[in-house]
Amino acid sequence: MKAVRSVRIDTLRGIAVFGIMLVNVWGFAIGNNFSRYGVIGEHAPLLDQLVVFVVAAFAEQKFYPIFAFLFGAGFALQTGGRHFPGPRLDRIKTTYRRRLTWLLGCGVLHGSFLWFGDILTVYAICGFWLLTQAGRRLSDIVASLRRMAVLNVAVLVFMAYLTYQLMTMPPEAVTWGVDEIARTHAVYSEGTLVAIARERLSDFWGNLINSLFFLPKVALLFLMGVVSVRLGWLTQPGHHRAVWGRVLLAALWVGVPVNLWWGWAALRDAIDPHAAGPMAAFVSFLVEVAGPLMAAGYVALVMRAPEPVLAALARSLAPVGRMALTNYLAQSVLFGLLLQGTGLRLGALLSHAGLLGVCLLLMVVQAVFSRWWMRRHTQGPMEAVWRRFAARG
């Protein structure tokens, strides 16, 4: 079972790997709270304020949708692409099921021992459902996509109710939340191995329970990836420039304004949660839709990029994307060693700008290492282990 490689897809996946790093770093240092960026206060340096604004506006809720979209696209490519695989389908599904089983185990271990925000577990669970779509006609896939869109609307209605609750929280509840930020920051950045492990397990399993409301969005993104391959939008972007042009316009006219608003709201919330919390809750609800829309704009930019621009991006980013799983897991190991109490404890010492600097440094390291590795191997280390497991039996 071998998917067709695409430089554009690999480059896009590499962009997503680094974008997710920009979002995850705060959890390693600050913890799992209602405010991702903690509390910086009104006297925070301008550079720290700029970092919060930029990451919230241009990274948060933008890169996991790309990964989920590409996961669905990869599934479509591995199950025949635009063509029905015929009698090979049962064997393909068996191999893919083993891949998902491995991914599920890897995700549980990752979430329990390294990163409470693990996404692999959710992808694996949703992937078992996606297997039911293998070999179906395009019209049936589109029908499933429509049903999943309706389910997502229902989830959004429920989230609107939760947003109202957050917007009307009494001051003492906000004070408790601020105290929690300080507590979890101290645990993750300065705590002992046992204290961090206890906090991480609690956060991870709590996130898994909450993922019941996240699974429909992931499933919808999976299906959109499948449809994009079946229609040739992703595999033959040059033939569908008009489609990607419309996506880009929607992202520019709707996604960009709302996400800029969210960047400003997230910054105000980080400066003073008591004053800005209600507005931040409201705008964060809008970003549930506007974030993935802007992610679609990022995809459209790569799909429409001229060949010279794509070649320049691909030199550094395509190798990162070809070993995305290895790089994703390596980020968790490195953040733990650098930022947390069991390592160098930089999470307790660095400002927000300093944490961004760590991310930029790790991006350079991973880009150089990925390029070196892929010149000598056909796949990343963890990808090789994953493939060997799936090939057994």
Q: What pLDDT, on the 0 to 100 scale, is given for residue 393?
A: 52
Give yes or no for a contact between 271 and 282, defined as CB atoms under 8 angstroms apart.
no
- Please state, in angstroms and rounded to a whole number, the distance separating the CA atoms of residues 355 and 363: 13
Q: Is the Cα dihedral 80, 84, 86, 91 positive or negative?
A: positive
In degrees rounded to 5, what are phi and psi of residue 340?
-95, 170
Q: pLDDT category, 91, cuts 50, 70, 90?
A: confident
| Identity at 193, one-letter amino acid code | L
Share above pLDDT 70 across residues of the chain, in percent, rounded to a whole number: 96
Give yes or no for a contact between 127 and 76, defined as CB atoms under 8 angstroms apart.
no
Mean pLDDT of the chain: 92
DSSP codes, 130-153: HGGGTT--HHHHHHHHHHHHHHHH
Query: Considering the entire predicted model, what is its pTM?
Result: 0.94
Half-sphere exposure of residue 107: CA atoms within 13 angstroms, side-chain side:
21
What's the pLDDT tens digit per position in 180-228?
A: 999 999 999 999 999 999 999 999 999 999 888 899 999 999 999 999 9
What's the pLDDT tens digit per position in 235-253?
A: 899 999 999 999 999 999 9
By residue count, the chain amounts to 393
Q: How far is CA 315 from the centre of its chain?
A: 22
Is the pLDDT at 152 greater than 80? The verdict is: yes
Report CA-CA distances (Å) from 256 to 93, 246, 313, 339.
39, 14, 23, 32
Q: pLDDT category, 83, cuts 50, 70, 90?
A: low
Q: Is the Cα dihedral 325, 330, 333, 336 positive or negative?
A: negative
Q: pLDDT category, 375, cuts 50, 70, 90?
A: very high
